[in-house]
Structure 1
Amino acid sequence: MAELKSNIIVRRPTEADFEEMKRFIAETCEHTRNFYGVHDWDELFPVGETYGEIMERIEKGNILLGTVEGVLSGIVVLTQRKSEKFRHVGNLTVSLRSDDLMATLGKELIGRMILACKSKGVIRKINLRVREDLEVTKEVYKFLGFYEEGVLARDICLNGMFYSTILYGRSID
């Protein structure tokens, strides 16, 4: 699944990537919490959980890694509930080494996850959340076919400032 687009490679993780993924998430965790909404990477990758346990829970095809010039610079994860009535809905979480990568690597990672969903045919709708003031991020989501579904007012408080979270969705059919 690896493909070169400029200096970006997007691929599925292997067990050999596990330690690097954990380091990346630890390094970017505060950044992710601050800029990409309420998703808590600690819940997606709990301390002490093995690669096999994470892959079984999330499913291997629902995690993509993005490298820029050989350096891990982004991860996108699509989670879904096991309940039959919600199984068709995926929740997208993105972590990037820097905000500047959203228009390039972020777009590529999310686009690839959309294609993976289309090919598998299980996920029929993707949901995500974004902080209201992240204009580039919102534009990327709109470019990729996401539409605004609602707003959670004063959902995030950072350094005493309140921000709303915008809920986005995208149908896969």
Structure 2
Amino acid sequence: MKEIKLKNGETAILRTPTKEDAKAMIDYLNIIGGESDFITFGENEFTLSVEAEQEYIEKTNSMKNCKNVLTIINDEIVGIASINSIQKERMKHNATLGISFRKKYWGMGLGNEVISYLIQWCKSNGITKKISLLVREDNDRGIRLYEKFGFEREGLLKKDICVHGVYYNTVTMGLYID
């Protein structure tokens, strides 16, 4: 668990989810789907059952190269970030970063704090050597944030995502860690 003081004076807590968080996590994901067109699903499109989400949480918590982190403010989930890795021997050193926050908390430094926290966690787990992510090509703020941490552009997936009938390219980015 980690506490973060925000620019607006509020305190955020970063912590690992438990299976009791499953319903709130699903609710959060269904809300943010309607707050940003930069994520891969829309409002109320996250359809995992509470039981399936509980299984996912428990499975992820048991893996040495996977991590979920909730950002909590005033007992409300305002962010979810994850490091997910394949468990096969040849691929387990690779991790994929996912990160989202409620729109009202954009620009308050949470992205910096959470990415820094997860990079440090990856460095300490003894397995992860590369973190990859996908970001929509026109998400300039997101790309600048990732580049600030040393992520480099590795490729372009053309017309990878379609939002409201418009196709967008996705940039693949990677960070090699020691």
Per the TM alignment, residue 84 of structure 1 is displaced from its structure 2 partner at its CA by 0.6
For the residues of structure 1 that align with 2:27 and 2:97, how far apart are their CA atoms? 20
Alignment correspondent of 1:49: 52
Q: Give the counterpart letter for 1:120 in structure 2.
A: N
Task: Write out aligned runs for 1:55-134 (5 A).
Answer: 55-59=57-61, 62-98=67-103, 101=106, 104-134=109-139
Q: Does the aligned pair in 1 maintain the 2:33–2:39 contact within 8 Å?
A: no
Q: Classify the secondary structure of the residue corresponding to 2:109.
A: helix
The offset of 1:17, in angstroms, is: 2.4
Unaligned runs of 5+ in 2: none
Give the partner amino acid of 2:56: I
| Residue 5 in structure 1 maps to residue 10 in structure 2 | no
Cα separation, partners in 2 of 1:138 and 1:102, compared to 1, 3 Å: farther
Identical aligned residues as a percent: 31
Tell me which amino acid in the other structure corresponds to 2:92. R
* Secondary structure in structure 2 of the residue aligned to 1:84: coil
- 1:133 Cα deviation after fit: 0.6
How far apart are the structure 1 equivalents of 2:28 and 2:83? 17
Relative to the length of structure 1, the TM-score reads 0.84
What TM-score does the superposition give when structure 2 sets the normalisation length? 0.81
Deviation at 1:70, TM superposition (A): 4.2
Cα separation, partners in 2 of 1:172 and 1:161, compared to 1, 3 Å: same
8 Å Cα contact 1:75-1:96 kept in structure 2: yes
Comparing both chains, which one has the higher relative contact order based on Cα–Cα distances under 8 Å and sequence gaps of 6 or more? 1
- Tell me which protein shows more helix as a share of its residues: 1
CA contact (8 A) 2:2 2:15 kept: yes
Q: How many angstroms apart in 2 are the aligned matches of 1:111 and 1:102?
A: 16
Task: List 4+ stretches of structure 1 deviating above 4 A.
Answer: none
Given the alignment of the two structures, is residue 139 of structure 1 paired with residue 147 of structure 2, yes or no? no
By how many angstroms is 1:85 displaced? 0.4
Q: What is the aligned residue count? A: 167
How far the C-alpha of 1:172 sits from its partner, in A, is 1.6
Residue 129 of structure 1 aligns to a residue whose secondary structure is strand
Shift of 1:71: 2.8
